[in-house]
Chains A and B, each alone.
Chain A
Amino acid sequence: MSRKERSMEEVKVIGFWTSPYVYRVTWALKLKGVEYEYQEEDIWNKSDLLLQYNPVHKKVPVFVHGGKTIVESGIILEYIDETWPQNPLVPTDPHARAMARFWIKFVGDKMRNFQGFFFKRAGEEQIKAVKEAQEYLKILEDHGPEEKKFFDGDNIGMTDLSMGWLAFWLEAMEEASGVQVLEANSFPRLHAWIRNFKQVPVIKENHPDHTRLVAYFKRLREMFTKPATT
């Protein structure tokens, strides 16, 4: 089958409205003008369909194209970029491309360090976890977008989509846990990036509702925060 023929086949995304990993995929598809069917999955009550499509990890997003399934958002993004080459998400320069993959991997590997603060109750442990998150954010601040508008250059790319959690999810987590992590004074570049990112029409029109997300995170926090020892 030619790439053109393949690109015409049906696309389906199985997702959950709070997931930044799902948004990476839907943003990518919208940026390329690719039509798709979206199916909401309740990850707290997984359907047979999900378990069938992703038996190994049982997670969203699940991407189905022409009947074939792909999971893991980073892998899905690479596939989308190869199958629909318009509006490329990956830089053309091979080294810049390698840097994009490096950052995506870095963020993925260190997500526990970035988000650990969210799962701590107020007190010593939370303060320590916030400091740790800030250390890792400092790495992004220093080495990330630098003087460019986006992580990937003048145009939004795969790295930016993978950093999307910084733009919407982090502020909701901060609000839900009552801490400030990404202070504007300490992280001017990241704040500038967030502003630029949120201006992109596809992003502006497609993100979870802030109030709903904060409420969701508050509930999540109650479920997972260990009670303080008295």
Chain B
Amino acid sequence: MEEVKLLGFWPSPFVYRVIWALKLKDVQFDYIEEDLSNKSELLLRYNPVLKKVPVLIHGGKAIAESLVILEYIEETWPQNPLLPKDPHEKALARFWIQFGLEKMRPIHQAYFPAIGEEREKAAKQYQEVLKIVEDQCLGDQRFFGGETIGMVDIVYGMLAYWFECMEEAVGVKVIEPSILPRLHAWVNNFKQVSVIKDNLPHHGKLLAYYKTLREKLVSARSTLPTPSNHDAS
């Protein structure tokens, strides 16, 4: 049983993806908090290309990028599988993971620092994309993974907790129960799952973090995409 370490940053939803996966599979690990304003030698050594968290270190070997880490965890610890067994279903799960990444990222970058009327416009765009996910991926299921949570739920987990804080910071809600009823229900169901419930950052701290971050982004507004120290995938 080789040692597992996780380099993380407490507000990062991408880090929590990895935490949840490890806990769902009952894998013991050491968590190391990184100060991203003062990156450690460990981080720079283990993720020299991107210098971001999360980084998983297993038996001394490092893996970066949360989605890559999730696939690694799934293969290395096959108990409590997070991906469907059927290859086509698996491909579909991966498709929706990638869809979320590609479609949501630019909209999110427009939404989070938006001011005034821009906020409503960005919220509408967000809702359009989420509607596709709600209709074609979630459908009438309790979770994206079916009866129990799977990798797609974990990847979309940001929407279930972090996003509420962001919505509050922005001041315009996106996941309205009247517009996205099933996704709204999913948010509540997801947060009730014990591994998730027991592994979430402090709400008050997170809200304060996002409010401060938003203030910084709003005051430094430019058309360039915002770089991030925790991976946006």
What residues of chain A have their CB less than 8 Å away from a CB belonging to chain B?
A: 6, 56, 65, 68, 70-72, 74-76, 78-79, 82-83, 94-95, 97-99, 101-102, 105-106, 109, 139, 143
Which one of B65, B67, B87, B233 lies within 8 Å of A79 (CB-CB)?
B87
Q: Are the C-beta atoms of A95 and B95 separated by less than 8 Å?
A: no
Asked if residues A82 and B87 are in contact (CB atoms below 8 Å), the reply is yes
Among B31-69, those with CB < 8 Å from A are 48-50, 58, 61, 63-65, 67-69
| B209 is an interface residue with CB less than 8 A from chain A | no
Chain B contacts of A102 at CB under 8 A?
A: 63-65, 68
List the 7 closest A-B pairs by CB distance, nearest first.
A98-B72, A98-B63, A95-B61, A70-B91, A101-B68, A75-B94, A79-B91
Which of B71, B72, B87 gathers the greatest number of chain A CB atoms within 10 Å?
B87
Known: A79-B88, A97-B75, A98-B68. 17 other contacts (CB 8 A): A6-B87, A56-B132, A70-B88, A72-B94, A75-B91, A79-B91, A94-B72, A94-B75, A95-B58, A95-B61, A95-B72, A98-B63, A101-B71, A102-B63, A105-B67, A143-B48, A143-B49
**Residues on the B chain within 8 Å of A105, using CB:** 65, 67-68, 233
Decide if B94 touches A98 in the complex (CB within 8 Å). Answer: no
A-B contact count (CB 8 A): 64
**Distance of A88 Cα from B194 Cα, bound (Å):** 38
Counting chain B CB atoms within 10 Å of each CB, the highest count among A74, A76, A95 belongs to: A95
A-B contact pairs, 14 of them (CB 8 A): A70-B88, A70-B91, A70-B92, A76-B91, A78-B94, A82-B87, A94-B75, A94-B76, A97-B72, A98-B63, A101-B65, A101-B68, A101-B71, A102-B64
B125 touches A (CB below 8 Å): no
Interface size range on B against A: 20 to 34
Does residue B98 face the partner (Cβ distance < 8 Å to A)?
A: yes
The DSSP consensus for interface residues of chain A is: helix
Q: How far is it, in angstroms, between the C-alpha of A82 and the C-alpha of B136 when the chains are bound?
A: 25
The complex places the Cα of A74 from the Cα of B67 at a distance, in Å, of: 13
A98-B64 Cα distance, complex, nearest whole Å: 9
**B49–A78 contact, CB under 8 A?**
no
Check A75/B95 contact, CB under 8 A, given A98-B71, A101-B71. Answer: yes
A3 CA to B68 CA, complexed, in Å: 25
Q: Tell me the bound Cα distance from A82 to B85 in angstroms.
A: 11
Contacts of A139 in B (CB 8 A): 49
Min C-beta distance of A48 to chain B, whole Å: 20
**CB < 8 Å neighbour of A72 from B58, B71, B95:** B95
A11 to chain B, nearest CB (A): 13
When the two chains form their complex, are residues A71 and B233 in contact, meaning their CB atoms are under 8 A apart? no
Please give, as numbers and ranges, the residues of chain B lying within 8 Å of A71 by CB-CB distance: 95
Closest chain B residue, CB of each to CB of A95:
B61
Determine the chain B residues whose CB is within 8 A of the CB of A76 once the complex forms: 91
Cα A98 to Cα B65 in complex, Å, equals 10
List residues of chain B with CB within 8 A of the CB of A83: 87
**Minimum C-beta distance from B79 to chain A (A):** 15
How long is the Cα–Cα vector from A97 to B94 in the complex, in angstroms? 16
| CB neighbours of B88 from chain A (8 A) | 65, 68, 70, 79
Bound complex: CA of A78 vs CA of B98, how far in Å?
14
A83, B50: Cα distance in complex, Å = 32
Once bound together, how far apart are the Cα atoms of A71 and B99, in whole Å?
A: 11
CB < 8 Å neighbour of A109 from B61, B95, B99, B233: B233
Q: Taking the nearest CB of chain A, how far is it from the CB of B23, in angstroms?
A: 20
Residue among B61, B91, B94 with max Cβ neighbours from chain A (10 Å): B91
Q: Indicate the member of A70, A94, A102 with the most B CB atoms within 10 Å.
A: A102
Residues of B within 8 A of A101 (CB): 65, 67-68, 71
Which residues in B have their C-beta under 8 angstroms from that of A98?
63, 68-69, 71-72
Which A residues are CB-close (under 8 A) to B65? 101-102, 105-106
